[in-house]
């Protein structure tokens, strides 16, 4: 785990090194104290030397205070190193996500990414800090205690060499058995959560079919399962402490037995015996720490892997070596383009040939699932084609620098979102330095100024998370304005006026025709009315271009188009 974390610790290396050093000093000072105590008993009391007692006592207190300062300091820098590492890995993961393609985001899924950036990063911070503390402290404490024990009485210290392996063995056995159970428990927890998630999502179905009782039963089954697994794991893990106590006290008994004999024989001072027992307590503490640490370590190790996965996932959409930095014009050419999403069997786009002139208004129409959205997402390289090529301004999109390409394209996504802030801060997504006049201009073009100007605070009006304080139609107009601020060469509107009423929709179209001269505008729509005036209309059907031409031409030659048109003439286009 730490090898993987190494690059992120680097910035805080100095702390990561200093912290254990100071802690070793703390351990060392703690370890000397019992020896001095033994001296007090064996030399001071035996010789009734008050002066000696005071001198030794003061040294002991000084050592303890020194240890305290070192320990505190060490934990402070340890925390710095731990949370510094967490911040670094968090930033690295977020930066990596920024280069993700849409396919990456789809695969790792937003909720999972969120957990990784929050909970998992937190875990890593905690455990790094703890590692610096416990994982280094415990072994040193043990080694020092052993050395001191050997120094006091080598023969008696032999007991440790029997006891420590015995204890370690017991711990390993328990952990070995408990770990799979804990993993199993985690799975059971996931199962419980999955069922809750499913029921929350389906609550209306549950209620309308009166299935509360059955849903509860389904939950209870998994809940029981979880409880039983948890109890099994716990039955094992509670043995931990008693076993430890058992071994430690057996040690103490042995020490008393053999040590007692030595004291009787006069080969050992009783003070030394007491010190010995103190060391046993210390070794026990160290072991307790180690075992606690191992539990944390396994959890954090999984977290680290999840974060590393985020960082190592590389977008398959990569910049070329010598990227073209400038998009010449807004012409677009699709040459024999085929594409499928990863994991799909069939192609979603099938041998698409299209030529769109710069400055044209293009309408795309077709039923749901005919891959209209997929088609336009090829243009800013949100996905890469599998076959063929897409050219913008005469250059293959794969030869541009991504920033330059996307800078030239204003894209209003189907599920567009605003982010919390103000209207102004949202508009600045299009251009950081944009002036208020330009913003108002864009809002006006997008038919959004009429309601924005109603707000007392105007451009400073609050936007809540996801833009949820606006109606669907208002949100769509704001997102169109945001795209216009980029002053793009190509503007793509993916079904972006579905919630806008007819009149406003018509006004919008007028703007696109009159004011966006020279901008290639691609409009995906459900309603024929939205695109009938386009220079070119493309009819999509099951991933293919069924027909293209003007409204009049298509009425003549495309059956699909005529069907759509007829149904909307006579029928409804309400959705």
Partner 1 sequence: MKKQGQKSKVTAAKPMKTVGRLLGYFRYNKAMLLGGILLVAFSSLAQVGANGMLSPLIDSIATHRDWNAFLRSLVVMVGLIVLLVVGQYFGSRMLAQLAQKTVYIIRSEMIEKVLSLPVSYFDNHTHGETMSSFTNDVDMLNQALEHSVGQILISIVTFAGTISMMILLSPLLTGVVVLSLGGMMLIMQFIARMSGKYFRRRQQMTAQLNGYVEEMISAQKVIKVFNYEERAKNSFDEQAEELRRISTRASTFGVMAMPVMGNLSFVMYSLVAMSGAFLAMGGVITIGNIAAFLQYTRVISRPIVQVSNLLNLLFAAIAGAERIFHILDMEPEEMDAGDVQLEKNGEGRRDLCWRVPQKDGTIKNVSVQGDIRFTEVDFGYTKDKLVLQDISLYAKPGQKIAFVGSTGAGKTTITNLINRFYEIEDGQITVDGIDIQRIKKRDLRSIMSVVLQDVRLFQGTIAENIRYGRLDATDEEVVHAAKSANAHHFISKMEQGYETVLDADGSGLSQGERQLISIARAAIADPIILIMDEATSSVDTRTEQLIEKGMDRLMEGRTTFVIAHRLSTIRRSNAILVLEQGRIVERGDHDDLMAMKGRYYDLNVGTAELD
> Does 514 engage in binding with partner 1 (CB under 8 A)?
no
> Does 478 engage in binding with partner 1 (CB under 8 A)?
no
Give the one residue of 201, 326, 455, 559 binding partner 1; rule: CB under 8 A.
201
Give the one residue of 162, 180, 194, 556 binding partner 1; rule: CB under 8 A.
194
- 25-64: which residues touch partner 1 (CB under 8 A)? 26, 30, 33, 36-37, 40-41, 44-45, 48, 50, 53-54, 56-57, 60-61, 63-64
> Does 239 engage in binding with partner 1 (CB under 8 A)?
yes
Cα separation, 283 vs 136, whole angstroms: 14
> Does 294 engage in binding with partner 1 (CB under 8 A)?
no
We find the least distance from the C-beta atom of residue 513 to partner 1, in angstroms, to be 12
We find the least distance from the C-beta atom of residue 525 to partner 1, in angstroms, to be 12
CA dihedral sign, ordered 550, 555, 557, 560? positive
Helix (H, G, I), strand (E, B) or coil at 173: helix
SS3 annotation, 16-48: HHHHHHHHHHHHHHHHHHHHHHHHHHHHHHCCC
DSSP assignment string, 252-273: HHHHHHHHHHHHHHTSS-HHHH
Q: Which is nearer to partner 1, 65 or 355 (CB)?
A: 65
Taking contact as CB under 8 A, which single stretch among the options 168-176, 241-249, 331-339, 548-556 is the one that binds partner 1?
241-249
The dihedrals phi and psi of 465, each to the nearest 5 degrees, come to: -50, 130
> Does 257 engage in binding with partner 1 (CB under 8 A)?
yes
Q: Which is nearer to partner 1, 165 or 202 (CB)?
A: 202
Give the one residue of 16, 365, 430, 446 binding partner 1; rule: CB under 8 A.
430
> Does 445 engage in binding with partner 1 (CB under 8 A)?
no
The DSSP secondary-structure symbol of 400 reads B
Instruction: Show contacts of 172-179: CB within 8 Å, 24+ apart.
Output: 174/236, 174/237, 174/239, 174/240, 174/243, 175/291, 175/294, 177/236, 178/233, 178/236, 178/237, 179/298
For helices 136-152 and 13-39, what crossing angle results, to 10°? 30
> Does 246 engage in binding with partner 1 (CB under 8 A)?
yes
167 vs 68, 185, 244, 292, 313, CA distance in Å? 29, 26, 7, 15, 42
Estimate to the nearest angstrom the gap between the alpha carbon of 187 and the chain centroid: 20
Give the one residue of 4, 18, 94, 399 binding partner 1; rule: CB under 8 A.
94
> Does 367 engage in binding with partner 1 (CB under 8 A)?
yes
Q: Which is nearer to partner 1, 62 or 355 (CB)?
A: 62
Is 517 in contact with 523 (CB distance < 8 Å)?
no
Give the one residue of 97, 310, 385, 539 binding partner 1; rule: CB under 8 A.
97
> Does 235 engage in binding with partner 1 (CB under 8 A)?
yes
> Does 409 engage in binding with partner 1 (CB under 8 A)?
yes
Taking contact as CB under 8 A, which single stretch among the options 235-243, 295-303, 328-336, 340-348 is the one that binds partner 1?
235-243
In 158-227, at which residue ranges do the beta strands (DSSP E only) sit?
none
Cα separation, 379 vs 373, whole angstroms: 11
Give the one residue of 5, 9, 80, 448 binding partner 1; rule: CB under 8 A.
80
> Does 100 engage in binding with partner 1 (CB under 8 A)?
yes
Q: Which is nearer to partner 1, 228 or 457 (CB)?
A: 228
> Does 320 engage in binding with partner 1 (CB under 8 A)?
no
> Does 569 engage in binding with partner 1 (CB under 8 A)?
yes
Estimate to the nearest angstrom the gap between the alpha carbon of 225 and the chain centroid: 29
């Amino acid at each position: 785990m730490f090898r993987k974390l190494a690059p992120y610790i680097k910035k805080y290396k100095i702390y990561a090194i200093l912290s254990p050093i100071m802690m070793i000093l703390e351990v060392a000072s703690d370890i000397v104290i019992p020896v001095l105590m033994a001296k007090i008993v064996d030399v001071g009391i035996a010789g009734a030397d008050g002066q000696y007692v005071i001198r030794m006592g003061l040294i002991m207190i000084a050592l303890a205070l020194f240890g305290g300062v070192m320990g505190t300091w060490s934990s402070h820098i340890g925390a710095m190193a731990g949370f510094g590492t967490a911040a670094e890995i968090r930033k690295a993961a977020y930066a990596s996500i920024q280069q993700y393609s849409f396919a990456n985001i789809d695969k790792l899924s937003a909720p999972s990414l969120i957990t990784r950036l929050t909970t998992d990063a937190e875990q890593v911070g905690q455990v790094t800090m703890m590692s610096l503390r416990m994982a280094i402290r415990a072994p040193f404490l043990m080694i020092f205690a052993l050395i001191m024990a050997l120094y006091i009485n080598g023969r008696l210290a032999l007991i440790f060499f029997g006891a420590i392996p015995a204890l370690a063995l017991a711990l390993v056995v328990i952990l070995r058995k408990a770990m799979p159970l804990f993993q199993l428990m985690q799975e059971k927890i996931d199962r419980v959560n999955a069922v809750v998630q499913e029921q929350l999502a389906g609550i209306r179905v549950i209620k309308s079919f009166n299935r509360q009782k059955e849903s509860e039963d389904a939950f209870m089954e998994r809940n029981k399962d979880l409880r039983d697994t948890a109890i099994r794991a716990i039955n094992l893990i509670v043995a931990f402490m008693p076993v430890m106590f058992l071994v430690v006290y057996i040690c103490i008994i042995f020490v008393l037995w053999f040590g007692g004999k030595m004291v009787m024989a006069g080969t050992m001072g009783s003070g030394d015996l007491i010190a010995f027992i103190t060391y046993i307590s210390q070794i026990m503490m160290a072991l307790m720490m180690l075992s606690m640490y191992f539990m944390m370590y396994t959890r954090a190790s999984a977290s680290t892997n999840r974060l590393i996965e985020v960082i190592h996932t590389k977008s398959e959409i990569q910049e070329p070596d010598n990227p073209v930095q400038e998009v010449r014009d807004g012409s677009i050419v699709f040459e024999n383009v085929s594409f499928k999403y990863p994991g799909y069997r069939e192609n979603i786009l099938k041998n698409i040939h299209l030529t769109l002139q710069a400055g044209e208004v293009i309408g795309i129409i077709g039923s749901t699932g005919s891959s209209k959205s997929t088609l336009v997402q090829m243009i800013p390289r949100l996905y890469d084609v599998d076959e063929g090529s897409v050219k913008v301004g005469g250059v293959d999109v794969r030869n541009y620098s991504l920033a330059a390409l996307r800078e030239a394209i204003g894209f209003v996504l189907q599920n567009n979102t605003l982010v919390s802030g103000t209207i102004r801060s949202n508009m600045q997504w299009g251009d950081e330095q944009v002036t208020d006049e330009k913003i108002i201009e864009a809002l006006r073009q997008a038919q959004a100024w009429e309601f924005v100007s109603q707000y007392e605070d105007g451009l400073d009006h609050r936007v809540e998370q996801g833009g949820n304080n606006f109606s669907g139609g208002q949100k769509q107009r704001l997102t169109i304005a945001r795209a216009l601020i980029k002053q793009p060469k190509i503007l793509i509107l993916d079904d972006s006026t579905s919630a806008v009423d007819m009149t406003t929709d018509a006004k919008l179209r007028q703007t696109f025709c009159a004011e966006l001269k020279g901008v290639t505008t691609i409009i995906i729509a459900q309603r024929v009315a939205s695109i009938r005036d386009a220079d070119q209309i493309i009819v999509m059907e099951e991933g293919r271009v069924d027909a293209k031409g003007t409204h009049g031409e298509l009425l003549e030659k495309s059956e699909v188009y005529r069907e759509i048109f007829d149904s909307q003439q006579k029928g409804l286009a309400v959705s």
